[in-house]
């Protein structure tokens, strides 16, 4: 008979490292940070699922009462990755809710009022609403510069990449099988539905270096992607993660952070940005839909 093992965790009720702060209300989440002279940032989002941006005029918003900074895609370098392009659209909006401009003002009400003063002229395009539609012959291209597997010698495509994995002799295996089962499965895209919306606060020091506080599952990714979008060195940006009110993989990338840093640089004051629940569902990335054919 095996000897008894003195287990230190299994069968016990260990205290969660973050448990006491959360149940007592002392835990500081992304939207809980407030700094002196802090501004409040808001984002104008596209009402179209797919459209060209013909013109963005932020001049009236920039001159509005209480507004200390206003930005559009023209204020950012054009070399951002696909993840970075979620932060601010430039020539084209790729989904309903894509950011097209942002402002930072002394109060939230002033920031919201300033958004109404931003003039955007769109050329609406046919939206791509499903996997079938995206992969069909002659499909409307969402990203005209995207080539499957990065092969620019081939026509642009909505298919970003293909992968093939092989092991053994499949044809021989099926020929010898007593039973073959084939099926097709479809799963729609689904948002993670975390309780806490995205939130961040950014400030720029006198030496030009930025500090960002945000609710994230990957603060090193936030740092590198924010630096890329802004065209800066990662050494200029420090990211401090707050407590997180749920993420499930949905808080590993950036949406607000580069905007907050940019507007803090322009205004010389800290900028806080918090998404509404509507913003979260319109403008953050759900898990992709799936279409799967299986044969076993």
pLDDT of residue 82: 78
Strand partners, 99: 45
pLDDT of residue 4: 66
pLDDT of residue 119: 99
**Burial (CB count <10 Å: 0-12, 13-18, 19+), residue 175:** exposed
pTM value is 0.91
Band (1; pLDDT cuts 50, 70, 90):
low
Q: Taking residues 88-94, what's their average pLDDT?
A: 94
Q: Taking residues 201-217, what's their average pLDDT?
A: 97
Band (245; pLDDT cuts 50, 70, 90):
very high
8 A C-beta contact, residue 123 and residue 114 = no
Distances (CA, A) of 13 to 5, 24, 65, 108: 17, 19, 55, 44
CA 12/CA 164 separation, integer angstroms? 46
Q: Which residue do the tokens 């209300």 mark? A: 25
Q: Which residue do the tokens 């990449």 mark? A: 161
Could you tell me which of 88, 279, 290, 108 has the C-alpha nearest to residue 184? 290
CA 135/CA 157 separation, integer angstroms? 8
Which of 23-27, 42-46, 154-158 reaches the highest mean pLDDT? 42-46
pLDDT of residue 8: 81
**Is residue 81 pLDDT above 80, yes or no?**
no
Q: What is the residue-averaged pLDDT of the chain?
A: 94
Strand partners, 204: 210
**Is residue 275 pLDDT above 80, yes or no?**
yes
Band (2; pLDDT cuts 50, 70, 90):
low
Q: Taking residues 95-117, what's their average pLDDT?
A: 98
Domains of the chain: 31-126+192-283 (3.90.1170.50)
pLDDT of residue 92: 95
**Is residue 238 pLDDT above 80, yes or no?**
yes
Give the tokens for residue 118: 């931003």
CA 101/CA 122 separation, integer angstroms? 13
Could you tell me which of 59, 61, 66 has the C-alpha nearest to residue 38? 66
Q: Quickly count: other Cβ atoms within 10 Å of residue 131's Cβ.
A: 16
Give the tokens for residue 66: 């209480």
């Amino acid at each position: 008979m095996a000897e008894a093992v003195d287990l230190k965790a299994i069968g016990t009720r260990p205290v969660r490292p973050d448990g006491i702060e959360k149940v007592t209300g002392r835990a500081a989440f992304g939207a809980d940070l407030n700094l002196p002279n802090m501004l409040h940032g808001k984002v104008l989002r596209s009402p179209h699922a797919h459209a060209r941006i013909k013109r963005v005029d932020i001049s009236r918003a920039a001159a509005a009462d209480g507004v200390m900074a206003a930005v559009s895609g023209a204020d950012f370098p054009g070399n951002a990755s696909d993840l970075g392009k979620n932060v601010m659209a430039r020539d084209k909006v790729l989904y309903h809710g894509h950011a097209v401009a942002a402002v930072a003002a002394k109060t939230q009400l002033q920031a919201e009022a300033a958004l109404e003063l931003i003039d955007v002229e769109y050329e609406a395009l046919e939206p791509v609403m499903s996997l079938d539609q995206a992969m069909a012959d002659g499909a409307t291209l969402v990203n005209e510069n995207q080539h499957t597997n990065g092969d620019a010698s081939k026509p642009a495509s909505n298919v970003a990449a293909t992968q093939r994995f092989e092991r053994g002799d499949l044809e021989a295996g099926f020929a010898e099988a007593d039973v073959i089962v084939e099926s097709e499965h479809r799963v729609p895209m689904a948002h993670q539905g975390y309780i806490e919306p995205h939130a961040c606060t950014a400030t720029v020091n006198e030496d030009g270096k930025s500090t960002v506080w945000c609710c994230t599952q990957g603060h090193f990714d936030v740092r590198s992607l924010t630096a890329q979008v802004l065209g800066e060195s990662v050494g200029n940006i420090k990211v401090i993660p707050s407590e997180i009110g749920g993420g499930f993989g949905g808080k590993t990338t950036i949406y607000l952070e580069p905007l907050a840093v940019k507007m803090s640089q322009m205004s010389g004051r800290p900028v806080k940005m918090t998404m509404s629940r509507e913003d979260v569902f319109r403008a953050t990335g759900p898990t992709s839909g799936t279409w799967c054919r299986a044969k076993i």
